[in-house]
Structure 1
Amino acid sequence: MPVVSQPGKKSFTDKMAHLFFRFIAMNFNARKSLKRYLKSEDGWLNFTFAIKTENGSVEQSIFFKNGRVHVIAGISEKPDAMLVFVDEEAVKEAAVNPPNKLMMALMENRMHTVGNIGYLQLMNFYLSLVLKPVQISKLKKEASIGKRNFDQQKASELSLERRKTPQLKAGSQDIGVLFLKDSYLSEYSLDDFPRLKEFLAIHLKTRPSICHERPEILTRWYRENGFEKDRSGAAIVPELRQAMGLRYLMENRKPIIRKNDLIAGTTTTKEIGVVLYPDAHGTMIWGELLTTPHRPLNPYDVDPETINILHDKVFPFWVKRNFREWVREKKGYPVCQKLDERFAACFLWKTVALSHTIIDFPKILKLGTRGIISEIEKEMVETNESNKQKRDSLLAMEICLEGLVSYARNLSKEAKKLADSEGNKERRQELTLISDICSKVPENPCTTLDEAVNAMWIIWVGIHMENTNAGFSLGRLDQWLQPYFVSDLEKITNQTEREAYVKHAIELIGCFYMRCTDHLPLIPDIGNYLFGGSSSDQAITLGGLTPEGKDAVNDMTYVFLKVTEMLSIRDPNVNARYSREKNSMTYLKRLCEVNVNTAATPSIHTDEVVMSSLESKGYKLEHMRDWAATGCVEATICGKHMGHTNCMMFNMVAAFEMALNNGLHPLMRWNLGPKTGDISKGDFKDYESFFDAFATQLRFLASLTCQYNNYLGEAHQALRPTPYISSMIGGSIKSGMDVTKGGALYNSSGTACIGLADITDSLMAIKKLVFDEKKVTFPEMLEAVNTNFQNHSALLAMIKTKVPLFGSGDAEALATANRVTKLAHDCFESHTNYRGGKYAAGFWSMSNHVAFGTLTGALPSGRLAGKAFTPGLTPEAHASRSMLANIRDVAGLDPKNMSNNIAFNLKVVPSSNDSHQKTVDNVAAYVKAYSDLGGMQMQLNVVSSETLRDAMENPENYQNLLVRISGYNAYFVTLNRDMQMELIERAEFGL
């Protein structure tokens, strides 16, 4: 293999790296037990891996070819993957650290990748094969130091024992509540539902396991039938290829009825399974297969069979067939892709999924797949035969729905088999009912609540077989299931039987919630720092208005709230719409009571304000009223909208740093942006000239991220179109277009703009201290920032005490925040996505406010280097001691600039002297005040910093402690230390 880079004098570290690579090569060349891993079902795993330092003091390559491993000094001509280290110390650390630490160094920009990340993960896997004992020892030590190795069985028992919450009764009934005597359902507790209690115990004590079923079956089909071309060598229509693969998967996956469950079907073959999508980002776990059971944060079990199947049969097939590699090959490894791979400025979710949408559940529940297939066939008849693209797309939709029916029939057979062998009469009746249900739905229309819930779950399993389980959401389930609840109860006249049915409905929805916990998204260890603690974020939305503009709160609204309160689990992610014009205080107080009792959920949205943010988008009024949250908090038009509302996490502070440094990003050491002014040369004569520089850098980064998102969208069209969900999203059948190609009635892309408060406060510091009051020169401010305020304590104190911040009630700070949100809105609104829709700006952060903070230096706001940003658009903790000042400022932001919604976090601590009623009344008063002022969204953490600190020290006592991060829920004890500290350091307000 030719070597093109062998510059002069090399360092001692370079020599050691060469010896290390030779040690790895010797092991694989000499040890038969290792040599087997050099080959897969598709042949030898041939690739070249290289390392180098930025100054060239280290340059080494190792290449794998036809079962032999060779090492060369220097950089091979075109390495498939390369790590570029910041310095020699980073090289030394990488040599002995486990794969999770290597990926952390990537995130921290102590090194960066060039080329195929899949091959980097394969190299990590090979290193683990040789160094496994050393790596596992380090991981176990880290877990012990971090107190992550407690007994989950005992912790879950303690959690259940403590799950006792006070209960209020409804003071009055909502007009839409037809059958519940007390809409708060206060007579029920978890102890009344032994089945749910047992499912919850399993959820808390069971470690997730990686499941190979989906990737193994799909890869087998594609290997046998072709991916780019069919077996005859002809080009394959992507929609038809995906449809036939999905049908094969649904026909052949194992039909499982979970023990004692009321709902048929599972996402994986495991009790709690990690679903793999090698067709997207699944190869990211390749390097951790041997170590992931031992990692301190959110470990996964993985059995030897799974490791062998993934390494031998799955990952090699997909290493070049995924979204990142499609862009790298087809678009020439563009700058926008390199920016995403550095993590500091953005994270593009379309490398993982095209998700965050809601299908038309009411339609499929009403018509069944048979009815939708009839609609498809009617459209096919009316389509000219020459329009092959449309006909192929329609045929693909039909094939997918056939696969779903096959899966349901297999479940029906399995349930009958279990019923025939079941000795317990009551359980035999349940299994017989499940068998009957699955023989009917989702093929045919649903007529009962049991049928509707089972149909929804089977459909949901299909969604996660076709698409990555990242933010696909369930929508307005209280609205869509209420007709079945009413129809069932209208057939019952006996009051005792009606009460028994209500209890059954609670238990059925509880089973549905626990089904939603049977799977987790694949999170390589780096993900524990980017979006730690997040599960699939399957949002359910309750209450608000009907499409006709009436009060939407009903019986099922309160059933869902009861289940949310009893189980207090992180997923589904419950969001509540509150219409200040139509919804009652009875409903609002119940939302607040559930928040108090769970400590973190549901998130509350003001209907009128959310809809005002959507008015310019061209949605019909009745469609706009039918919005629901997806993923975290983002508004989507149910069943008609392909919005991918979390297409990117965008670090606005990166643009601010580039404005401070004339286009250079300090951590990335990259002169990336345009030259907008040199502070040291006095280029900025006034505040406006600096704001213009910031705006220029923001537009530049927004343009790059939109470009990459569009390229990735094209990759989805080629590699993984989605005919299954297309068949259930309005507009796609009529247009005969897959939703990845713009077939939905409404199309858009949504961004999460991170760092609003930090930027606003930094701009205020510059405006006040540098330009208005001239307390400090701009070069002096920059020097203080660049040195993390060392030797600038007086300036830091001045910033902390003299600069009015967003959230303090200062009119100018609020105006600045509005100016920044408008700038971000206008930046993204100016771009059109690959499906013909516009980009929307939102201000929430998942947990990336912590990750991006780690990757950011000090700021003029006084925030020190590496510290977390504020979550979502929440004001800085010291902005004001008054919660009302925070509330007024956030409510004062113009919703028209925030059409992808916001996350406003408040940490409140009830007084120990107040009754439960008083606490709920106080919380409700604050929420109502915020809503009346025009606030868009609010989420509460009803927990003290003292409790959170104790949970850090004694995690075994707090396994089920639920916290709201920024748009999603997590268990506090599963978070990394930086995220835990960010939660602890949030402003804490008494009630």
Structure 2
Amino acid sequence: MKQILNIGPEETSPRIQNLIDGLYKALPAVESERALLITKSYKETEALPMVLRRAKALEYILENMTLVIRDSELIVGNLTTAPRSTQIFPEFSNKWLLDEFDSLAQRKGDVFTITDEVKNQLKECFTYWNGRTVNELATELMYDDTKTAMNHNVFTVGNYYFNGVGHISVDYERVLKNGFSGIIKDAENALANLDKGCPDSIEKTHFLNAVIITSKAAIRYSERFAALAEKMAAEERDMKRAQELRVIAANCRKVPANPAENFYEALQSFWFVQAIIQIESNGHSISPMRFDQYMYSYYKADIESLNLSKERAQELLDCLWVKFNDVNKVRDTGSTKGFGGYPMFQNLIVGGQDRAGMDATNELSIACLEATQHTKLPQPSISIRVWNGSPHELLIKAAETSRLGLGMPAYYNDEVIIPALVNRGLTLGDARDYGIIGCVEPQVGGKTEGWHDAAFFNLAKVLELVVYNGCLDGVRITPQTGEFTSFTSFGQILEAYQKQMQYCVRFLTNADNSVDMAHGQRAPLPFVSSMVDDCIGKGKSIQCGGAHYNFTGPQGVGVANVGDSLMCIKELVFDKKKYTLAQIKQAMEDNFGGTSMEAVDAEILKEVVRRLTEGGKSLSPDQIARLAELTSQGITAKKASGDYSSMLEDMENVPKFGNDIEEADDLARLSALVYCREVEKYRNVRGGQFQPGLYPVSANVPMGEQTGAMPDGRKAGEPLADGVSPVSGRDTNGPTAAANSVAHLDHMIVSNGTLFNQKFHPSALSGREGLEKLSALVRGFFDQKGMHVQYNVVGRETLVDAQNHPDQYKNLVVRVAGYSAHFIYLDKSLQDDIINRTEQIF
């Protein structure tokens, strides 16, 4: 067995603590510099093809943006002037921000400060973008039926609908080995070899020139940092810091223009790539992926040659870890409920197999886990690949990290993900080289445009459409599939669910393809594309099909809710005949004895939808109620027509998903498979395939707010189940039973990823025995072909106290969904969801 374990102290050095303190000394701010620069550039390039306009805009930004080298940092490259702040990207969308200027500093989660000067600057530049944004074009491309389904919360495509394309991992190794000078040569050679007689040579020429422009701009950006570091060194009185600044300057003169020759240069080159990607586009989930693989040769050579001590290498790595947390973005208020806690989803994964199928774990794998232990920050979102050949020491180190209560690492199963990717057309070598993007989405880095997190699809809404025969809120959404109360067999229920799924997934794919097409036309990304195969060879950006592998990955939410609902219908109506479908439907309409919203006239509701969804906003029940009050039409609370306590008790006693009960698990599996099999039928506009995922980020909370009562006794507005996890509180047979139920789902078909959350009290992981138990639980779950699992190790009492006394818990990091975040920055609805998750013990 490899001797890779290098357990160091879980301590934060003074330098690292100073860097962390600098990040969190003030609330993040909204800055206007990028918005002003890109607007000025666009006004001057209106006659050029779009890909060249994008290249020149990035060039102009990198040459004119304010550069900052923060106190004590050893890795440089800023996106904003103030730490942890955000630039604005008006080319994607901006009307929502205009509407929320005055509430950014007052909202419950993800607070940003914004000055009156910045507001006025942004208001002025936004006028240029009217009718020019990606969001507006995407909306125009969608079918009316699609927009109706989206406005009634069957699904949302908010990620790329309002923001730039993210969820990408480029070929970092290509830059480390060849520098951007090498990429420029590749583009120049491709230009020289173009057959100019081919009709597509014109577009290819524009794209390749755009690659050259952005690559040269990246080099000049680093040279600007070199000049700044030299200037600061000359003025620095502290000799040690002056020397550090001179080394920074030398690094920036060298990389990323040229190949890196040592570990420090490689780290700096990597960070320039990571930063510029997020200056070009504000799509999140820019994921380093297999960092321990492409960085290891530099680490190993420096350690073996004694050019670098392990302690110094760890300090540099820790500095980079802090730098990841300087990246931020502002989202609309609704999205902060689905992406709460300032998440950026920069997923970095260690361990697993190499392309030949051998174990790839090395010393840097362990050092990466130690960097997370030292910094105790939510970024990078560190993950671990596990297979039958993973060293036990790696799992123990991962469990040790989990025990800190950060919600990291997330654990991924090679034995499921590799064959799932091969099934989607990847070569075996590429599949073995997968990493994780964003939350839980597998792909091979540097070759893929996965369009992950393409939509949140509400499986529970599909079941609502079955109950209400294709209508929601009195509005026809889908064709009729039969009156719910007239069904005479459980098979008819399942048939209606499948038909409603077909209609809804068709709308979903139209929405995703419309957004995809809009990005290709209005916001190609030549810088990112320069580092993704086969874009230079094809002469196309990733938005136009340049990547080697092309997918679109929407994710279903509410698997357990639908499974539990089907189980209740089957047992209570058809097996035991204790209730009729009419009684179940009436109970849902009465919200099981709570209050429900009185239906309003369809024409009034259409007007509500129109006024609230200008610019593509989604509709919530609270918004409906508020606008109805303003228009004096009135939406009133409807009292229940009966006592449903006995029915709720009966529903509670029906077997539920999450307890290793085959019949209940079978129905949850079926509810997911109906969705997955429908999604994979479709193709995207880049020539690739749709692939399903089953994870919510944290959108299960706002999606629950938009979902009515369900046949399992869930009341309207309550959160949906978290990913493929059981409904909170219903997994009562222990952690192994819950894991067995989740493993019962077909994870092989869900190649866009699944998410399984478990929560343990810290006492469950105490001592070496606790680490061994967690390691065994992971192994057991993965042996049954579970895909992914992650753990919150924090007591309910701690979370409740943190909610009530946030000032005392500023450093509390928890697992929200496919990411970790500081607990006190989350919206209360997300905090409550985490608090209410089942607390397991061994």
User: TM-score by structure 1 length?
Assistant: 0.78
Identify the match of residue 629 of structure 1 among 433, 436, 441. Answer: 436
Identify the match of residue 270 of structure 1 among 82, 94, 98. Answer: 82
- Alignment of 1:410 onto 2:224: yes
| Amino acid paired to 1:418 | M
Q: In the alignment, what sits opposite 2:734?
A: 882
Q: Name the CA distance, whole Å, in 1 between partners of 2:558 and 2:543.
A: 30
- Report if the CA contact (8 A) 2:154-2:462 is conserved: no
| Amino acid paired to 1:174 | K
Q: Which moved more, 1:509-518 or 1:729-738?
A: 509-518
Please give the residue correspondences for 1:327-338 in structure 2 after superposition, counting only pairs within 5 Å. 327-329=138-140, 331=141, 334-338=144-148
- Alignment of 1:809 onto 2:637: no
Q: In the alignment, what sits opposite 1:653?
A: 460
Kindly provide the CA deviation profile for residues 427-455 of structure 1, in whole angstroms up to 9, marking residues without a partner as x: 11111111111111101001111111111
- Alignment of 1:977 onto 2:828: yes
Q: In the alignment, what sits opposite 1:212?
A: 32
The DSSP-based 3-state class of the residue aligned with 1:263 is coil
Q: In the alignment, what sits opposite 2:365?
A: 557
- Alignment of 1:288 onto 2:90: no
Q: In the alignment, what sits opposite 1:502?
A: 310
Identify the match of residue 956 of structure 1 among 800, 807, 816. Answer: 807
Q: In the alignment, what sits opposite 2:652?
A: 800
The DSSP-based 3-state class of the residue aligned with 1:650 is strand
Identify the match of residue 902 of structure 1 among 727, 734, 754. Answer: 754
- Report if the CA contact (8 A) 1:204-1:959 is conserved: no
Identify the match of residue 240 of structure 1 among 52, 69, 84. Answer: 52
The DSSP-based 3-state class of the residue aligned with 2:758 is strand
Q: In the alignment, what sits opposite 1:221?
A: 41
Q: In the alignment, what sits opposite 1:916?
A: 767
Kindly provide the CA deviation profile for residues 631-670 of structure 1, in whole angstroms up to 9, marking residues without a partner as x: 101001111000011111111111110111000113xx42
Q: Name the CA distance, whole Å, in 2 between partners of 1:340 and 1:419.
A: 55
- Alignment of 1:370 onto 2:222: no
Q: In the alignment, what sits opposite 2:717?
A: 866
Identify the match of residue 697 of structure 1 among 497, 500, 503. Answer: 500
Q: In the alignment, what sits opposite 2:212?
A: 398
How far 1:288 sits from its partner (Å)? Answer: 2.4
Identify the match of residue 534 of structure 2 among 709, 727, 731. Answer: 731
- Report if the CA contact (8 A) 2:155-2:508 is conserved: no
Please give the residue correspondences for 1:433-472 in structure 2 after superposition, counting only pairs within 5 Å. 433-472=247-286
- Alignment of 1:583 onto 2:390: yes
Q: Name the CA distance, whole Å, in 2 between partners of 1:861 and 1:319.
A: 46
- Report if the CA contact (8 A) 2:274-2:286 is conserved: no
| Amino acid paired to 1:373 | I
Identify if the C-alpha distance between structure 1 residues 253 and 183 changes in structure 2 by more than 3 Å, giving closer, same or farther.
same
How far 1:875 sits from its partner (Å)? Answer: 0.9
How far 1:818 sits from its partner (Å)? Answer: 2.1
How far 1:907 sits from its partner (Å)? Answer: 0.7
Kindly provide the CA deviation profile for residues 758-790 of structure 1, in whole angstroms up to 9, marking residues without a partner as x: 000001111111112211111111111111112
Q: Name the CA distance, whole Å, in 2 between partners of 1:563 and 1:321.
A: 43
Q: Name the CA distance, whole Å, in 2 between partners of 1:985 and 1:271.
A: 33
How far 1:586 sits from its partner (Å)? Answer: 0.7
- Report if the CA contact (8 A) 2:142-2:510 is conserved: no
Identical columns (%): 29
| Amino acid paired to 1:263 | I
Q: Name the CA distance, whole Å, in 2 between partners of 1:571 and 1:224.
A: 37
Whose RCO is larger (CA < 8 A, sep 6+)?
Answer: 2
| Amino acid paired to 1:674 | P
Q: Name the CA distance, whole Å, in 2 between partners of 1:968 and 1:610.
A: 19
| Amino acid paired to 1:210 | V
- Report if the CA contact (8 A) 2:292-2:365 is conserved: yes
The DSSP-based 3-state class of the residue aligned with 2:794 is coil
| Amino acid paired to 2:484 | I
Q: Name the CA distance, whole Å, in 1 between partners of 2:259 and 2:520.
A: 31
| Amino acid paired to 1:988 | E
| Amino acid paired to 2:286 | F
| Amino acid paired to 1:208 | P
Q: Name the CA distance, whole Å, in 1 between partners of 2:732 and 2:709.
A: 21
Identify if the C-alpha distance between structure 1 residues 342 and 777 changes in structure 2 by more than 3 Å, giving closer, same or farther.
closer
How far 1:959 sits from its partner (Å)? Answer: 1.7
Q: Which moved more, 1:722-731 or 1:973-982?
A: 973-982
- Alignment of 1:174 onto 2:2: yes
Count of matched residue pairs = 788
Q: In the alignment, what sits opposite 1:567?
A: 375
Q: Which moved more, 1:923-932 or 1:622-631?
A: 923-932
| Amino acid paired to 2:73 | D
- Report if the CA contact (8 A) 1:595-1:602 is conserved: yes
Q: Which moved more, 1:355-364 or 1:275-284?
A: 275-284
Q: In the alignment, what sits opposite 1:787?
A: 590
| Amino acid paired to 1:533 | G
How far 1:534 sits from its partner (Å)? Answer: 4.2
Output the aligned Cα RMSD.
1.6
Which runs of no fewer than 5 residues in structure 2 stay unpaired?
594-642
Q: Name the CA distance, whole Å, in 1 between partners of 2:521 and 2:337.
A: 31
Q: Name the CA distance, whole Å, in 1 between partners of 2:251 and 2:796.
A: 48
Q: In the alignment, what sits opposite 1:348?
A: 158
Q: Which moved more, 1:348-357 or 1:830-839?
A: 348-357
| Amino acid paired to 2:372 | T
- Report if the CA contact (8 A) 1:910-1:919 is conserved: no
Identify if the C-alpha distance between structure 1 residues 712 and 469 changes in structure 2 by more than 3 Å, giving closer, same or farther.
closer
Please give the residue correspondences for 1:674-753 in structure 2 after superposition, counting only pairs within 5 Å. 674-680=479-485, 682=486, 684-753=487-556
Q: Name the CA distance, whole Å, in 1 between partners of 2:139 and 2:668.
A: 37
Please give the residue correspondences for 1:759-774 in structure 2 after superposition, counting only pairs within 5 Å. 759-774=562-577
- Report if the CA contact (8 A) 2:230-2:245 is conserved: yes
Q: Name the CA distance, whole Å, in 2 between partners of 1:363 and 1:507.
A: 25
Q: Name the CA distance, whole Å, in 1 between partners of 2:814 and 2:357.
A: 33
How far 1:333 sits from its partner (Å)? Answer: 6.5
The DSSP-based 3-state class of the residue aligned with 1:751 is strand
Identify the match of residue 332 of structure 2 among 498, 513, 524. Answer: 524
- Alignment of 1:358 onto 2:166: no
Kindly provide the CA deviation profile for residues 360-382 of structure 1, in whole angstroms up to 9, marking residues without a partner as x: 00111101011111111111111
- Alignment of 1:670 onto 2:481: no
Q: In the alignment, what sits opposite 2:63?
A: 251
Identify if the C-alpha distance between structure 1 residues 332 and 555 changes in structure 2 by more than 3 Å, giving closer, same or farther.
closer
How far 1:820 sits from its partner (Å)? Answer: 2.1
Q: Which moved more, 1:881-890 or 1:347-356?
A: 347-356
- Report if the CA contact (8 A) 2:108-2:827 is conserved: no
| Amino acid paired to 2:819 | Y
How far 1:203 sits from its partner (Å)? Answer: 2.8
Largest Rg, 1 or 2: 1
- Report if the CA contact (8 A) 1:821-1:897 is conserved: no
How far 1:817 sits from its partner (Å)? Answer: 2.1
Q: In the alignment, what sits opposite 1:775?
A: 578
How far 1:242 sits from its partner (Å)? Answer: 0.8
The DSSP-based 3-state class of the residue aligned with 2:763 is coil
Q: In the alignment, what sits opposite 1:990?
A: 841
- Alignment of 1:641 onto 2:448: yes
Q: Name the CA distance, whole Å, in 2 between partners of 1:218 and 1:678.
A: 54
Identify if the C-alpha distance between structure 1 residues 257 and 599 changes in structure 2 by more than 3 Å, giving closer, same or farther.
closer
- Alignment of 1:299 onto 2:102: no
Identify if the C-alpha distance between structure 1 residues 203 and 332 changes in structure 2 by more than 3 Å, giving closer, same or farther.
closer
- Report if the CA contact (8 A) 1:348-1:709 is conserved: no
Q: Name the CA distance, whole Å, in 1 between partners of 2:289 and 2:763.
A: 35
- Report if the CA contact (8 A) 1:764-1:805 is conserved: yes
Identify if the C-alpha distance between structure 1 residues 631 and 332 changes in structure 2 by more than 3 Å, giving closer, same or farther.
closer
Q: In the alignment, what sits opposite 2:691?
A: 840
- Report if the CA contact (8 A) 1:339-1:346 is conserved: no
- Report if the CA contact (8 A) 1:380-1:391 is conserved: yes
The DSSP-based 3-state class of the residue aligned with 2:691 is strand
- Alignment of 1:891 onto 2:705: no
Kindly provide the CA deviation profile for residues 715-735 of structure 1, in whole angstroms up to 9, marking residues without a partner as x: 111110011111100111111
Which runs of no fewer than 5 residues in structure 1 stay unpaired?
1-172, 231-235
Kindly provide the CA deviation profile for residues 812-854 of structure 1, in whole angstroms up to 9, marking residues without a partner as x: 2222222222211111111101111111111111111101101
How far 1:338 sits from its partner (Å)? Answer: 4.3
How far 1:630 sits from its partner (Å)? Answer: 0.6
